[in-house]
Chains A and B, each alone.
Chain A
Amino acid sequence: MNELVLIVLLLGSLFTISALLIWVERRLLGHWQERYGPNRVGPGGILQSAADAIKLLAKEDWTPPFADKPVFVLAPAVVVSAVLLSFAVVPFTPSLIVADLNIGLLFVFALSSLSAYSIVLAGWASNSKYALIGGLRGSAQMFSYEVFMGLSVMGVVMLAGSFRLRDIVEAQQDLWFCIPQMIGAGIFFIAALAETHRLPFDIPEAEAELVAGYHTEYSGMKFGMFFLGEYLGIVLMSSLTVILFLGGWQGPWLPPLVWFWLKTFMVIMVFFLIRATLPRPRFDQLITFGWTVLLPASLLNLLVTAIIILTNGHDAL
């Protein structure tokens, strides 16, 4: 019963946060480009997302006649549900956690692979060339970057000695893992950008080339689901970064939940800042960078971490 209340609360707050994030991002991008951003709806424009949601709901929910209908409808639901399911194992505080799985990290990775399906299925079911190319790019990108993502956190898992996310946070009592696992943190962050296909890795939906990529044919609330999934994904990847490398809920004076969201928001800001700064690479550059730089770096990081742990024991780092 207690868990049910928690789930409902979590669902409500996550939707609210991701809706607010859209507004926060647009305001921040505005100021970073020396303009204001949306500031008309409500105080400071805070209700902009609500207005957008009403607009999306009121729009015609059109399914193209050439689309593969059941898959077309299924795809946007997959991305949102996969991301939302991942939040089940995220420890916000020592007690605020829906399911404290002992394979928490693996569970998250499994579900983020599942959300790759939604891109492929959406691209395929739309039966349009831009959507198909976007879907192909998305699948290639997500599959290759998931490899480095998994490898980059293995150092953390070795140091903590557990896949359980709560144990990983508790292992960072003395030192956050972003210090000993500096390379791992960097690779994880880059892979997280690619995994949520945010700029500069928004190649599956590159507006300049592919209209809108895999969600070209989507409109109304189905498009809204993709949008929501993207922002939920940012929240998920930022909270994972905080849990794995920045000590999760730990911090002095303030309550754990406040610390967790404070750190998460900082990471989200960096996500937005990178979007505002860096241009999009070409697709082959992205894949080449992944396999020739990130893969060897993450393997080396893993190897060095393993050697140090084996020679000095667990408490060395």
Chain B
Amino acid sequence: MNPVISGLKALWRIFARLFKRPVTIEYPDQPLPVSSRWRGRIVLSRDPDGEERCVACYLCSVACPVDCIALQATEDAHGRRYPDWFRINFSRCIFCGYCEEACPTYAIQLVQDFEMSEYRRTSLVYEKDDLLISGTGKYPDYNFYRVAGVAIGGKDKGDAEREQPPVDVRSLLP
């Protein structure tokens, strides 16, 4: 008798599901919830002053396990380094986030967008124009040159936040 009773119980349990909401998220119609740390499309952000954060140090390019990041460093009139061109091949990218971890200036960031299907493979190669956003991304207040000790035009050594003026080591000589 036991299997009959358990069978009837199972029948009732399945029937009762008729009055439950399905767990399905009808994705293209409803937005898909993604976590705040979701690793999606890669962007290049700007600092609060609206200047490019990227200093073209090549660390992201080196850290990339699939070699999908390529760039060329150059320098502007103020001695500020920036990438001449910056290219990410998203058909290779595995969205591991190592570039974001390697970046010393919070310039390269992975955002929540993942809807980047294309009909042609070459459309997945993003140039600097496609990557550079106008905002600051995840770190609204961070400005690399304001906290770094490196000198650029308009900001000398010792001018950065929480930085002492440089010590003239020669004054200590006997």
Contact = CB atoms under 8 A, between A and B. Distances in A.
Interface of A: 28, 30-36, 273-274, 276-278
B11 A274 contact: yes
Contacts of A273: 11, 14-15
13 contacts: A28-B18, A31-B18, A31-B22, A32-B17, A33-B17, A34-B23, A34-B24, A35-B22, A36-B26, A273-B15, A277-B7, A277-B11, A277-B14
Interface centre among B10, B14, B15, B17 (most CB of A within 10 A): B14
A32 B19 CA distance: 9
B20 A34 contact: yes
B10 A277 contact: yes
Interface SS of A by simple majority:
helix
A88 B127 CA distance: 72
Interface residues of B, number: 12
Interface of B: 7, 10-11, 14-15, 17-18, 20, 22-24, 26
What are the 6 tightest A-B residue pairs by CB atom distance, in nearest-first order? A277-B14, A35-B24, A35-B22, A34-B23, A277-B10, A277-B11
Contacts of B10: 277-278
A32 B18 contact: yes
Contact of A36 (B18, B20, B22): B22
A32 B20 CA distance: 9
A294 to B, nearest CB: 13
B22 A34 contact: yes
Nearest to A278: B7
B55 to A, nearest CB: 50
B26 to A, nearest CB: 7
Nearest to A276: B14
B152 to A, nearest CB: 58
A35 B17 CA distance: 10
A33 B14 CA distance: 8
Contacts of B26: 36
Contacts of B18: 28, 31-32
